Amino acid sequence: MGTPVDHRLSASQHKPPYSVRALTAPSIQASRFSQTGASLIEMLATLAVSGIVISCASLVILTATRLHFELSSILNGAVARQKTIAAVDAALRSLDRHRFDGGVVITSAEDALSGNHPVSNVSGTSAPRGHSDIVSVVEVSPLERGVLVSADRGSTTISLTACSFFKRPVLSEVRSYLLVDLDGFQHVTAQLVASGADCLRGTAQPLRSIFTAPGYHTGSLHYILPVLREYSLFIDRSGQLRLVSHVGQRVIENQPIVRGLSFLRVVRETHGSGAVLFRITVKPTGAQAQTATHFVSLTRRSSLQEVLG
C-alpha cells in the first residue's frame, strides 16, 4: 500500500498573499475624509445660501423702508399743499361779501420786511421766508355799513357822524374801521358812541396800514365799514404756513397752521368788467408744486363806482 496523502493545508498555505487589515484601514480613513469633505462643502453651501437670503432680506427691508419714507413724504407734502390752498382760498372768499376793491393785498416777503407791513414786526424763525408771497386780508361786514353824514378832518383826527346803518355794529367787538372816499380806503381806529336811534358819532385816528389806499385822501368821506378781522398768511423761515392777525401795524395773534412747505405764490389777474381771479401756487418741501385757481364770485368796483352807485 502507498503512503497516505495529508489534505490539510499548512498555516502558510492558508495565509493570503496580502494583509486584509492593511487593505481596509486606508479605505476606511479615505471614506471618513470623503464624508468630512462632503459635510464641509454642505456647510459652506448652507452658509452661502444663508448669506444670500440675509442680503436679499436686508435689501428688501431697506427698499421697503425707503419706499415707506418716500410715500410718507409724498403723502405729507400733498396734505400740506391741500391745506395751504384751502386756507388761502378761504381767505380770498372774503371778497365775495362786498364789491369794494382793495380788501386783499399780495406782497412779496422782501417788500413786506422792508416796507409798511405788520409782519415786519415778526422776527426769528416766525418771520416770512424770502422768495414767497404774503396774502393779507381785511374782512368787513357790508350789512353794518354806515353813511357818513359829516366828517371833519383835523391834523391828526377825523370827527365824524355816521347814520343809516342797515345793521348797527356792536361797538365793543370792533377794533378798527375802513372809511371810504374816492381814493379808496382809509384804515382808522375810532371811539364811537350811539347818537339817536340810528347814528354813531365820535373821533377816528388814521392807522399806518397796508389797506389804506395810496393818495392824499382830501376828498369827501362817504361810508364807514366795521372791520371784522385783518390778518396775513405766509410761509415762515421754518417752512410753516403762519397766520398773523393784526390791527394796523400791531400784531395781536401769531400761530403756525401747516408745516412742511417751501414757498407760496399768489398772482391776481383782472379780466373784463372787473372780474378777478387768483392763481395760488404752493410747493411743499421735497414735493412738486401745484397751482389752483380761485374765482371771485363778485366783480370788483372802484371806490368811485361804489360811491356813485
Read off the pLDDT of residues 192-227 as tens digits, 9 standing for 90 and up.
Answer: 999 988 899 999 999 989 998 776 566 678 899 999
Parallel, antiparallel or unpaired: strands 158-163 and 146-153: antiparallel
User: Per the domain annotation, does 178 fall within a domain?
Assistant: yes
Q: Residue 155: inside a domain, yes or no?
A: yes
d(CA 72, CA 286): 11
Backbone angles phi and psi of 9, in degrees to 5: -90, 145
Q: What integer pLDDT is reported at residue 94 of this predicted model?
A: 87
What CA–CA distance (Å, rounded) separates 160 from 152? 6
d(CA 244, CA 87): 13
pLDDT at 23 over 50: no
Closest CA to 228 of 295, 137, 150: 137
* 156/158 Cα distance (integer angstroms): 7
Q: Give me the number of domains the chain comprises.
A: 1
In-domain check, residue 170? yes
Residue 47 has pLDDT above 70, yes or no: no
- Give pLDDT tens digits for 64-79: 666 555 556 677 888 8
In this structure, what DSSP letter does residue 3 have? Answer: P
Which pLDDT belongs to residue 196? 85
What global pTM score does this model have? 0.74
Name the percent of the chain lying above pLDDT 90.
46
pLDDT one-digit tens code per residue, 124-157? 999 999 999 999 999 998 889 999 999 998 888 9
Note whether residue 15 is domain-resident: no
For residue 85, the enclosing domain spans 74-308
pLDDT in tens, 268-298: 998 877 788 999 999 999 888 999 999 887 7
Task: Establish if 287 belongs to a structural domain.
Answer: yes
Cα 227 to Cα 279: distance, rounded to the nearest angstrom: 26
- Residue 140 domain-assigned (yes or no): yes
Q: Give the contacts of 195 (CB within 8 A, at least 6 positions apart).
A: 161, 201
Residue 97 lies in a domain: yes
Q: What is the pLDDT of residue 73?
A: 63
